[in-house]
Amino acid sequence: MPDRRQRLPLRLLSAFGTLFLLGGTGLWLLARAEDLPRFDTLIVHYRPVLLVLLLLAFLVLSLLVIRRQLTRPLNELVHYVRSQQTGNPEAPPRHLYRRRDDIGYLAREIANLLHALHDKNQQLHAQTLNDPLTGLGNRRLLEQRLEIALPLSRRRMTPLSALMIDVDHFKQYNDHYGHPAGDECLREIANVLRDTFRRETDIVVRLGGEEFLVVLLDNQLDEATRLAEGMRSMLQAVGIPHAWSPTAKVVTVSIGVATAPPGTPIDLESLLACADEALYACKAAGRNCTIGRHVGAGIKESAEMTS
């Protein structure tokens, strides 16, 4: 697309050319005042004063032209850039955006760059909160979401449940099928988690390796355990082959569920520790099962082990 903008130096040159023409005409009239019959003798007498006034007028008009065409637009552009340091980028002032000179071109380019930078920052922010392999959230997202969820749960006096999920005998799967197949297996498990926990308030993250975590707001232990068991059964029904698993011929998971009843003072570490204890109970029971417990209490419910 051809560049049709008017160059700023040309605009300034045109403005100053007009001023020089007017100033030169005034100087010529003052210099020839004695030869021009229509000029009063008073003008001739005060010609030096008029010459000074003419020069001052020329300087003032020159400064006004520079301010209007260059200084003020640049100051507005600087103010616009400074105002875009936080929040979503906005378009520059319309009179700057619609200018057909270098300043208008610069305003449009800065606006485009700010939008591109904002989009890139959003992508980088998403990458810092998401697990690159599965697309689920990571530990940082968990902590960020729980900064809101924990106080909300306390204020509303609602239960809070955590599901600690571990893939059974995943090391043997990686050793036998290879790491690319292991990565694909983890992605498939992530898809099952997305299909099971669909509420906007559900927090689903990958903690690392073959461990996943789900935090459920406003779910009692029975409901959280039922959802966990549904996810475990769904994954087993998918039937990802695992010939080297002593538990089953397909990939399975063990899930420890921990629930903090309404009004229970709880923090993230205590909730995860309780869910981790329930998970170890699953492994002690032979894996491929779901066990739930209340925070600070013993085992509440255990799903029957499925082989």
pLDDT at residue 299 tops 60: no
Q: Is 143 a catalytic residue?
A: no
pLDDT at 243: 94
The arithmetic mean of pLDDT across residues 232-240, rounded, is: 96
pLDDT at 176: 94
What are the start-end ranges of the E strands in 13-110? none
pTM: 0.62
pLDDT at 161: 95
Band of the pLDDT at 291, cuts 50, 70, 90? very high
pLDDT tens sequence across 69-100: 667 777 777 787 777 766 667 777 777 777 77
pLDDT at 75: 79
- Contact present, 186 and 134 (Cβ < 8 Å): yes
**Residues sharing a CB contact under 8 Å with residue 13, sequence separation 6 or more, in sequence order:** none
pLDDT tens sequence across 222-235: 999 999 999 999 99
pLDDT at 186: 97
End-to-end, the C-alpha distance of the chain in Å comes to 67
pLDDT tens sequence across 105-146: 777 888 888 777 777 776 655 557 889 899 999 988 898 888
Q: How far, CA to CA in Å, does 165 sit from each of 70, 219, 253, 260?
A: 64, 17, 7, 18
Q: β-pairing, 253-260 with 290-294? A: parallel
Among residues 109, 147, 200, 210, which one is catalytic?
Answer: 210
pLDDT at residue 32 tops 80: no
3-state SS track over 256-291 = EEEEECCCCCCCHHHHHHHHHHHHHHHHHCCCCCEE
